[in-house]
Structure 1
Amino acid sequence: MAQRVSGVKASVGFVSETGPRKRNEDFAGAVFGSELPEPRRDVVAALSDGIGSTKGGREAAEIAVRGFLDGFCDLPETMEVRRAAAIVLNALNGWIYSQAHRDPELSGMGCTFTALVLRGRVAHVLHVGDSRAYRLSRDRLTCLTSDHVRQGGKGGGRSNVLTRALGVETELRLDYGTQPVAQHDRFLLCSDGVHGYLADEFIAGIMQERVSSEDTARALVAAALDAGSADNCTALVLDVVGLATAETADIGANIAQLPLVPVPQGGETIDGFVLKVLLSDGRYTRLFGAEDEVEGGEVALKFPKPMVAGVDAYRAAFIREAWVGARVNSPWLGHVIELPPGRQSCLYTVMPLYQGELLETRIARRPALGLEEGRQIAIKLARAAAALHRVGIVHRDIKPDNVILESGGSLKLIDLGVVRVPGMEDAPPEDIPGTPAYMAPEMFDGEAGNEATDIYALGVTMFRAFTGEFPYGNPDATSRPRRDRPAHLSALRPDLPAWLQAAIGRAIARDPADRFRDMAEFAVEIEAGPARAPVAVHRPRTLYEREPLRFWQGVAALLALALLLSLWRR
């Protein structure tokens, strides 16, 4: 089943099998906030495994899951997830504990409990016992919980003696954690009848097969039973299909609390990121390649240089970058990684560590950019900008320095710090951000940036990519255009076709009305260009084309003969 809740879209499927046991003591369930009488933005899933050695294991598991889903959703949505969950689970723990000591038919009842609350762009994990929660992100599986068991004694090297569970102690000792959520993430809640008989690598392999959430849950349970599971087997799979739009005010409030620190030099560890190598040291920012010791993997961290610009300007740039990174998904746009609440202690941006070279570097390298290579770059850049334009965002700084060419022909348009976001205007007309040589003429007259100015910047970028020159005679990327008319692409690159000159010339027209209507039209024009090229006409080659030396020797002989005739007549 799938449901949209204030912009969040998730799909949940779960399967539970009794296995060789006499009865199934597992229980799982999920609630979508929009299904409630008073709609809310949460997606909540929970799973419990009743303690099999007691009389009321199944009852405890069902009470825990149903009670949590009902009780949590009855509390105000403005209450923090951790606090709301603790209120509900402490009450359930007390009730189950009292019933186990009061009713002989339920003596010793208790259960494990693992829950996932998806709110906004953060997943909250609540856990006690030996059921588990996993997260599959970009095909990497991570276990989000720790088993509360006494080691040894059970087949496979695991113990069924719980050291913590719901309803077995007067005071509940609950684990709590958060995870940032990305679109297409998969979460798994499962009982030990599944994870106790399947290696994590095997679980990851099944999770990586992008079938429906219910089919994935069924495959996990079937695999555990085939592996000889002697327990009940339950798996709940939650797929994040779409994410809520990050609210500008929320992002701004979070970033406003982060202090600016002296720019790191490298070799330091900040919030679990080990700064390994300096990637770039620009005027406004310093970029490091880093190792994430918490989540694992390599990332890039961008730190501001506070001595260059005002603190407010930096905060505004980082708010824009975080907002866009949270809202726009495109294979051609650089991604911004959101950190879970509480991890980030100062102002910086975390991004994937893209492998490749800048387009600016490629321009300086020989041989010059060929037609097909350049076409593909132009098409993908246009699609990246179009993804921004579809949600009302203008990049405002498209240039070769902000394009990473990856291996295999992919690319990323990066640096979202000066984007123009609806409702987040930041610059007066005399201080519009951007790089002058790529800024459309109207931006020097106060235009803050729109689709037409991005088209102009992309046109200048591609003119430089093919020729190494600026079309309007700028000696560098920091000065305004010098000429009223652009240079001809064909004069600098006579090997390139006329249709390319026409397409780029239209993109860099001084009058916005003469440019393409949108980025999609520009992409279509570049993509269809070769099909519109005139067919070459085959003809016999002239003497000059076949034998240029003999041609000029003949011309010289004719001129000499003409000179002799002229002298003879005199």
Structure 2
Amino acid sequence: MARRTSIEVSIGFSSHCGARLDNQDFAAADLGSEEERALQGVLVALADGVGGSKGGRIAAELAVQNFFDGYRSQNPLGSVASAATKTMDGFNRWLNAQARTPTMKGAATTFTGVVLRGREALVLHIGDSRAWHLRGAALALLTEDHVSISSDDRAVLLRALGLEPVLRLDFIRQSLDDHDRLLLTSDGVHGVLTQQEIARLLCARKSSQADADAITAAALAAGSQDNVTALVVDFIALPSVDFDALAAEMDSLALLPPPEEGETIDGYRLEHLLSDAAYARIFVARDRENRIVLKFPKTMLLSEDGARLAFLREGFLGRQVESPYVGRTLALPEGSQSRLYIAMPFYAGESLETKISEEQVPLRDAVAIALKLSRGVASLHRRGIAHRDIKPGNVILTSDGGLKLIDLGIARVPNFKELPEKEVPGTASYMAPELFKGELGDAISDQFSLGVTIYRLFTGHYPYGETAPFTTPLFGPPIPASQYRPEMPARLEAAIMKAISLRRDDRFADVEELIYQLETGMLNVLPPRNAVPLLRRNPVLFWKSISALLIAVVIVEFLLMR
């Protein structure tokens, strides 16, 4: 069965003015695209504009929309709490300033927003709207009301968006299981319904929409004098694996010396050694049915902590990144591993390093390979991932014409624990100059490594010369690629040389721009795609040409008859 990578929910929403003339509540959900759900999760929020203020409804609606738009624009692999805080802090300052203007005087709003990512809900809360969590028949209140009761028994808001220039959000985390329910309510609902009454309505377990309607109907029947709003979320399915679960699994595995060819590990016979590198030993392995690749750590150069971090990183990212040009990792049956290693699909083919060493790759073939590799790198960068060891040895050219970029063990991801500085590996001949000065690596330094790899793909040489391991290269002027391949189009050469510029600022803004330049630089190399016949492109010219040809034939025949 395929592994689920994104959350699946059903959402019901119900809101009524009640005894009020207008509705200052606003609630919504943002499901996002499939990729956004996998990386950033599902967003739901409810805001209740402060009654009596001119801009209460406007404040509530803008708060929810700002939360959705701002959070989606943040780094998808960054901290959820940090991304949410940055998003709402700016809005709070803006609303606080607007509340002092005539058109929005006194505007403020409560806000309860939830990020549903992985198997966890992160609640952001300020004011007296509420978030509830139902598991089985047990209903838990997740939030705390920020109110004070006045002498005449009125609830006075102590905290709300726009009420103060400095934002004070509460953050509440709640683990999620399949079939849990989440509920957001405005105070028009929970002000008249007890927790027991809300639990009874949620435990009806009808559709999310039917139960949201039932909750607001019950609040109105109980005499609510305020707007009433309920948003119900049913969790249909949650991601199969999360980072914490994988980390706990890997921490429990023994770290042993790497095995030898011919051994059997957990039912997999190690058929032959694929690679014996400094940090890992890789085998093609087979059980009764499948052929896969197993990668075992070597601790001669990495500490135990470094080895676990690298394998956790590669195992997790290999399950998260969906790209036809990035290699995957496999989830083995739970409890089947006796030691630390990761499993990967077996990709029949050869490494790009092998192909470069055996032949000069024809320009047209090199063009296709460069584009596939660049698109694989771009797919990582879109997720905030820097590979940090792009080189021909980490690229597999599959026998079906595909390409896989592998080895994410030292990839840099925001908010992942970093390897100890002395253990951050890389391959000197492909590393950008800034990495030798202590920088940790990012998309721009990745672009340099990609550029050197593409340079070698076309020329078979290194632009700055080959560098021995654990040494710092002497960066001089690069050798123009056309010196090795005179037939290379000038625009194509210019794109490659820009990517390997020694100054970061002289490289492309991102790999997507490099891809565009490679494509346009290759127009003289690749044959036109699906050339359109002249009859379709210019039918008048076609028939004129046919007519001229027929006239010429008639004239020739006439002359021959004379």
For normalisation by structure 2, the TM-score amounts to: 0.52
Instruction: Give the secondary-structure state (helix, strand or coil) at the position aligned to 1:486.
Output: coil
After TM superposition, the structure 1 = structure 2 runs for residues 108-187 of structure 1, keeping only pairs within 5 Å, are 120-122=238-240
- Is 2:515 the counterpart of 1:523? yes
Cα RMSD after superposing both structures:
3.7
1:355 pairs with one of 344, 348, 353: 348
Partner of 1:464: 456
Among candidates 369, 375, 393, match of residue 401 of structure 1: 393
Q: 1:432 to 1:290 in 2, by over 3 A?
A: closer
Select the structure of larger CA radius of gyration: 1
The answer as to whether partners of 1:456 and 1:507 remain within 8 angstroms in 2 is yes
Report the counterpart of residue 324 of structure 1 in structure 2.
317
Cα distance in 2 between the residues matched to 1:6 and 1:462: 32
1:74-473 matches, within 5 Å, as: 120-122=238-240, 246=242, 248-293=243-288, 296-366=289-359, 368-427=360-419, 432-473=424-465
User: 1:358/1:274 Cα in 2 relative to 1: closer, same or farther (>3 Å)?
Assistant: same
Take 2:474 and 2:450, find their aligned partners in 1: how far apart are those partners? 19
Structure 1 residues 484, 42: CA separation in 2 closer, same or farther (over 3 Å shift)?
closer
Q: Is the 8 A contact 1:420 1:449 kept in 2?
A: yes
* Preserved CA contact (<8 Å) 1:286 1:304: yes
* 1:1-45 deviation per Cα after TM superposition (whole angstroms, max 9, x unaligned): xxxx9942489xxxxxxxxxxxxxxxxxxxxx999xxx99899xx
1:361 Cα offset (Å):
0.4
Percent identity over the alignment? Answer: 42
Alpha-carbon distance between aligned partners in 2 of 1:320 and 1:362, rounded to the nearest angstrom: 28
Q: Note the alpha carbon deviations across 1:81-114, whole angstroms, 9 max, x for none.
A: 9xxxxxxxxxxxxxxxxxxxxxxxxxxxxxxxxx
Please state whether the residue corresponding to 2:487 is helix, strand or coil. Answer: coil
Query: Is the counterpart of residue 497 in structure 1 residue 489 in structure 2?
Result: yes
Relative to structure 1, is the Cα distance of residues 120 and 325 closer, same or farther in structure 2, using a 3 angstrom cutoff?
farther
- How far does residue 289 in structure 1 lie from its aligned partner after superposition? 1.1
Contact preservation (8 Å) 2:9, 2:236: no
Note closer, same or farther for the CA distance 1:120–1:350 as it changes in structure 2 (3 Å cut): farther
Q: Is the 8 A contact 1:41 1:120 kept in 2?
A: no
One-letter code aligned to 1:275? L
Q: Secondary structure at the match of 2:367?
A: helix
Structure 2 counterpart of 1:261, one-letter code: L
Q: Deviations over 1:28-81 (max 9, x none)?
A: xxxxx999xxx99899xxxxxxxxxxxxxxxxxxxxxxxxxx986869996999
Tell me if structure 2 keeps the 8 A contact 1:41–1:119: no
Distance 1:424 1:302 in 2: 21
Q: Distance in 2 between matches of 1:41 and 1:407?
A: 40
The aligned amino acid for 1:448 is L
In structure 2, distance between residues paired with 1:6 and 1:465 = 34
Deviation at 1:468, TM superposition (A): 1.8
Matched residue, 2:60:
none
Deviation at 1:337, TM superposition (A): 0.6
In 2, distance between residues paired with 1:277 and 1:431?
Answer: 28
Deviation (angstroms), 1:430: 5.8
Match for 1:447: what amino acid?
E
Find the aligned partners of 2:380 and 2:477 in 1 and give their Cα distance: 29
Alpha carbons of structure 1 residues 447 and 361: separation in structure 2 relative to 1, 3 Å:
same
1:243-270 deviations in Å (ceiling 9; x for gaps): xxx3x44332221111112321133332
- Paired with 1:397 and 1:355, the residues of 2 have a C-alpha distance of 22
Residue 538 of structure 1 corresponds to none
Partner of 2:222: none
Residues 119 and 308 from structure 1, CA distance in 2 versus in 1: closer, same or farther, beyond 3 angstroms? farther
Deviations 1:118-166 (A, max 9, x none): 86443xxxxxxxxxxxxxxxxxxxxxxxxxxxxxxxxxxxxxxxxxxxx
Unpaired runs of 5+ residues, structure 2, are 11-41, 45-113, 119-133, 141-173, 179-234, 526-562
How far has the Cα of 1:504 moved from its partner?
A: 0.6
Give, in angstroms, the shift of residue 392 of structure 1: 0.8
Residues 452 and 73 of structure 1, relative CA distance in 2, 3 Å threshold: farther
Mark the CA change 1:414 to 1:529 in structure 2 (over 3 Å): closer, same or farther.
same
* Residues in 2 aligned to 1:456 and 1:42: alpha-carbon distance in whole angstroms: 33
C-alpha deviation, 1:386, in angstroms: 1.0
Residue aligned with 1:351, SS: strand
* Cα displacement string for residues 213-262 of structure 1 (whole angstroms, at most 9, x for unaligned residues): xxxxxxxxxxxxxxxxxxxxxxxxxxxxxxxxx3x443322211111123
C-alpha contact (below 8 Å) 2:8/2:237 kept by paired residues: no
Q: Check the 8 A contact 2:251/2:308 in 1, yes or no.
A: yes
Q: Is the 8 A contact 2:302 2:423 kept in 1?
A: no
- Segments of structure 1 that go 5 or more residues without pairing to the other structure are 12-32, 44-69, 82-116, 123-179, 181-245, 534-570
- Deviation digits for residues 436-491 of structure 1, max 9, x if unmatched? 11110011112111111010000101111222211112255664332321111111
Q: Give the TM-score normalised by structure 1.
A: 0.51
Q: Which residue of 2 aligns with 1:482?
A: 474
Sort the Cα spacing of 1:41 and 1:515 in 2 relative to 1 into closer, same or farther, 3 A.
closer
Q: Comparing 284-293 with 397-406, which one deviates more in the overlay?
A: 284-293
Partners in 1 of 2:434 and 2:115 — Cα distance? 45
- Call closer, same or farther: CA 1:353–1:71 in 2, change over 3 Å: same
For residue 377 of structure 1, give the secondary structure of its aligned residue in structure 2: helix
Shift in Å, 1:299: 0.7
**Equivalent pair of 1:437/1:479 in contact (CA under 8 Å):** no
DSSP 3-state at the match of 2:375 = helix
**1:365 alignment partner AA:** E
Are the aligned partners of 2:350 and 2:397 in contact in 1 as well (CA < 8 Å)?
A: yes
SS in 2 for 1:422: coil
Using a 3 Å threshold, how does the CA distance of structure 1 residues 449 and 425 change in structure 2: closer, same or farther?
A: farther
CA gap 1:432/1:307 in 2 versus in 1, 3 angstroms: closer
Q: What is the distance in 1 between the residues matched to 2:246 and 2:488?
A: 47
